Amino acid sequence: MSWYRNTVWFVKGLREYTRGGYESASKHFNPADVEVDVAGRSFLVTGANSGIGKATAKEIARRGGTVHLVCRNKERAEVAKEEIVTETGNQNIFLHIVDLSNPKEIWKFAEKFQNEHKLNVLINNAGCMVNNRELTEDGLEKNFATNTLGTYIMTTALVPLLEKAADARVITVSSGGMLVQKLNISDLQSGSGPFDGTMVYAQNKRQQVVLTEQWAKAHRNIHFSVMHPGWADTPAVRSSMPDFYERMKNSLRTEAQGADTVLWLAVSAEATKLPSGLFFQDRQPVPTHLPLAYTHSPPEDEEKLMEMLEEFSQKFKSVSPG
């Protein structure tokens, strides 16, 4: 049924995920939802040097928030920080260089961060789509290491800090591509069969939806959400999906349009009136499965995913320096 899921997802995307879909949805937005002052609140944004991450960080900075940019590339991150400070006039922008595909680095960062800062909102935006199977120095498949394990460790490591905060939130940037994937816990690192980077990425994004639902059950004092930004014109899309970009470039959303729901989930009072653990698109909760797509998983598979990721994460924590 994969052909069916892919076709339905793409047709749905042509209607809803493009710039036109955003413009149609935005007619029903309440601008006051995001016209808020968040001075005194602390936000951490991963993958914040470009694309949706930078657009989100910039809008939070405009509203007075303290923003921690977590980026892999120091040079690009410093340029992004300078741009955000210059455009917003907000000096409370802090830079942290962390490779989200390196679990030991994430543990080390999170442990240090907890001792030095407070945190109200974590935004898991960093991600990658590597189209050929590539292993990290730890022997992890790179997409899984960054998109799934990196997100898991960053979140679980910072949960104790978030639980001390008022109105704590965690937002994870997923993708509508996850709608074509059923959770597969038998091959987390895509080591068997032909390797398709797009489908591996989509599987990671399905895993992020499951993580969010599981975290929402486990941590009642934090509001968890996961979202699809639509198809946006970002550096990641241009480099990882060049054929898709060429075909769709005239109808892709801007980075700011892609970031709109992340911002709404991060700062608006309306977002936390909705239940924790939902999947959002254009400021509305939407289903996590397409009709007749057969992508539902048994609860035991979802629980097993959490167990497997915890085992992975603890293995790297035990050898973490510091």
Nearest to residue 45, comparing CAs of 152, 143, 173, 167? 173
Q: How confident is the model at residue 319 (pLDDT cuts 50, 70, 90)?
A: very low
In a domain, 322, yes or no: no
* Structure confidence at residue 320 (pLDDT): 42
Q: pLDDT tens across 285-318, in order?
A: 999 998 887 899 999 999 999 999 999 999 998 5
pLDDT at 248 over 80: no
For residue 34, what are the domain limits? 3-315
Question: How many helices, marked H, and strands, marked E, lie in the chain?
Answer: 12, 8
pLDDT exceeds 70 at position 170: yes
209 part of a folded domain = yes
Specify whether the CB–CB gap between 201 and 147 falls below 8 A: yes
Which amino acid is present at 314?
Answer: Q
Reference 10, options 136, 219, 137, 177; nearest CA is 177
Residue 320, in any domain of the structure: no
Q: What is the mean pLDDT of residues 196-211?
A: 96
User: How confident is the model over 74-128, as pLDDT tens digits?
Assistant: 999 999 999 999 999 999 999 999 999 999 999 999 999 999 999 999 999 999 9
Counting the structural domains of the chain, the total is: 1
Task: Tell whether 149 is covered by a domain.
Answer: yes
Evaluate if residue 5 carries a pLDDT over 90. no
Cα–Cα distance for residue pair 106/153, rounded to 1 Å: 7
Compute the average pLDDT of residues 242-247. Answer: 70
CATH number at residue 257: 3.40.50.720
If we measure between CA atoms, which residue out of 79, 50, 9 comes closest to residue 230?
9
51 domain residue, yes or no: yes
Q: Is the pLDDT of residue 7 over 70?
A: no
Average of per-residue pLDDT values in the chain: 92
Whether 17 is a known active-site residue: answer no
Amino acid residing at 168: A
Residue 206 domain-assigned (yes or no)? yes
Does the pLDDT at position 141 exceed 70?
Answer: yes
86: amino acid identity, one letter: T
Looking at the predicted structure, is the pLDDT value of residue 241 above 90? no
- The answer to whether residue 227 sits within a structural domain is yes
For residue 265, pLDDT beyond 50: yes
DSSP label of 274: S
Q: Is the pLDDT of residue 321 over 50?
A: no
Which is catalytic among the residues 17, 22, 152, 201? 201
pLDDT digits (tens, 9 = 90+) for 35-65: 999 999 999 999 999 999 999 999 999 999 9
Q: What is the pLDDT of residue 247?
A: 76
What pLDDT does 242 receive? 75
Q: How far apart are CA 97 and CA 236, in angstroms?
A: 19
In angstroms, what CA-CA distances link 304 with 140, 162, 187, 297?
19, 25, 13, 11
Predicted confidence at residue 318, as pLDDT, reads 59
What pTM was estimated for this model as a whole? 0.94
